[in-house]
């Protein structure tokens, strides 16, 4: 069986975008050519990949299985080409990493700097995602390694201990809570809150904690970064919750105060996420070992 790599790439694009038109636009080919490649792929594999109707196309279970396999194959092919191209400049391998914002802002800058200083032939590609998306990217072979909040993400991924962090409250200088060393969630719920984007673990935890007290979270606005959150808090638009290490980055530059949280859930664990130990490439295993050693140092 001869599988066309271009058809596999087009198929993965259809699965990711959900439409033939979007996949065609990504690969600069006509929708009719996309449809033809999908049909040829189904003929070659002797299995229907889409259930077609007048309402459109719906992926079959075989399509989801092929998507994950194709991603792995495409990544291996790209790895071969990349390594051959990069022999002249010394890059010998690539690791695709997805991580939540807490890991990126608190730990990864220094840890990746020391890793790349020791292993200049490795190319690390880093992308930020929320924890649930991190687990999904690793499970679907869209990433080699993930860093996320510890939790239950199913049997498709394996979690390895990594680091711990602490959630704190940031308030403007002069705020009613600014002289407190610690507060509980009840004190937070008395004020407007600047929250992170929808789906963030911190927002979900605050909403859950408020519901447990029979109260509502006064979410005034939502932002997409800790930088923006601290800017809004410093401007007096509310209080915010974020990891202590991330808050400390802005304390000197902005008129902010950091207040501890007494809630047990404010102490969190971060984990490394892989599909399996056996499935890691040598360079991905090298990075996993480095991150775990740095965390234990």
In degrees and rounded to multiples of 5, residue 221 shows phi and psi of -160, 165
B/e letters for 248-272, b = 16+ CB within 10 Å, e = fewer, are: ebbeeebebbbbebebeebebebbb
Position 78 confidence tier, pLDDT thresholds 50, 70, 90: confident
Beta-carbon contacts of residue 60 (< 8 Å; ≥ 6 apart):
47, 48, 49, 50, 51
Beta-carbon contacts of residue 23 (< 8 Å; ≥ 6 apart):
10, 13, 14, 16, 17, 34
For all residues of the chain together, what is the average pLDDT? 91
Total Cβ atoms within 10 A of residue 69: 12
Q: Does the pLDDT of residue 85 top 90, yes or no? A: no
Per-residue pLDDT tens for 108-159? 999 999 999 988 888 899 999 999 999 999 999 999 999 999 999 999 999 9
CA dist list (Å): 71 to 109, 147, 275: 28, 20, 14
In degrees and rounded to multiples of 5, residue 239 shows phi and psi of -110, 165
Per-residue pLDDT tens for 180-212? 999 999 999 999 999 998 888 999 999 999 999
Q: What pLDDT does 86 receive?
A: 56
Position 282 confidence tier, pLDDT thresholds 50, 70, 90: confident
Residues 243 and 266: their CA atoms lie apart, in Å, by: 9
The more confident residue out of 59 and 199 is 59
Q: Using an 8 Å Cβ cutoff, are 157 and 139 in contact?
A: yes
pTM of the predicted protein model: 0.71
Q: What pLDDT does 81 receive?
A: 73
Q: Does the pLDDT of residue 5 top 50, yes or no? A: yes
Residues 41 and 60: their CA atoms lie apart, in Å, by: 14
Residues 15 and 19: their CA atoms lie apart, in Å, by: 8
Q: What pLDDT does 252 receive?
A: 84
Q: Using an 8 Å Cβ cutoff, are 248 and 268 in contact?
A: no
Residues 62 and 59: their CA atoms lie apart, in Å, by: 8
Residues 35 and 18: their CA atoms lie apart, in Å, by: 13
Count Cα neighbours of 195 within 13 Å in the Cβ-side half-sphere.
Answer: 22
Q: Percentage of the chain surpassing pLDDT 70?
A: 96
Q: What pLDDT does 91 receive?
A: 47
- The four Cα atoms 150, 156, 158, 163 give a dihedral, to 10 degrees, of -30
Q: Does the pLDDT of residue 87 top 60, yes or no? A: no
Q: Does the pLDDT of residue 231 top 50, yes or no? A: yes
Domains observed in the chain: 5-80 (1.10.10.10), 89-163+269-296 (3.40.190.10), 166-266 (3.40.190.10)
- Give the mean pLDDT of 67-90: 74
């Amino acid at each position: 069986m001869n599988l066309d790599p271009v058809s596999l790439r087009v198929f993965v694009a259809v699965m990711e975008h959900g439409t033939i038109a979007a996949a065609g636009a990504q690969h600069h080919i006509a929708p009719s050519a996309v449809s033809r490649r999908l049909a040829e792929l189904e003929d070659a594999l002797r299995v229907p990949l889409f259930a077609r109707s007048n309402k459109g196309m719906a992926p079959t279970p075989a399509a989801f299985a092929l998507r994950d396999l194709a991603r792995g194959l495409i990544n291996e092919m790209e790895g071969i080409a990349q390594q051959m191209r990069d022999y002249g400049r010394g890059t010998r391998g690539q690791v695709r990493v997805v991580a939540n914002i807490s890991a990126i802002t608190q730990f990864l800058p220094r840890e990746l700097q020391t890793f790349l200083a020791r292993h200049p032939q490795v190319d690390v590609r880093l992308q930020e995602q929320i924890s649930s998306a991190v687990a999904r990217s690793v499970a679907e072979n869209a990433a080699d390694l993930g860093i996320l909040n510890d939790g239950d993400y199913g049997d498709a991924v394996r979690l390895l201990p990594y680091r711990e962090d602490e959630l704190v409250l940031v308030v403007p200088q002069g705020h009613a809570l600014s002289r407190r060393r610690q507060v509980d969630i009840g004190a937070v719920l008395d004020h407007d809150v600047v929250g992170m984007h929808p789906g963030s673990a911190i927002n979900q935890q605050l909403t859950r904690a408020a519901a447990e007290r029979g109260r509502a979270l006064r979410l005034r606005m939502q932002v997409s970064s800790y930088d923006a959150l601290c800017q809004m808090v410093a401007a007096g638009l509310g209080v915010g919750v974020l990891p202590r290490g991330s808050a400390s980055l802005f304390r000197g530059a902005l008129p902010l105060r950091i207040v501890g949280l007494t809630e047990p859930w404010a102490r969190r664990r971060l984990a490394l996420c892989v599909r399996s130990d056996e499935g890691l490439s040598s360079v991905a295993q090298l990075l996993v070992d480095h991150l775990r050693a740095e965390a234990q140092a």
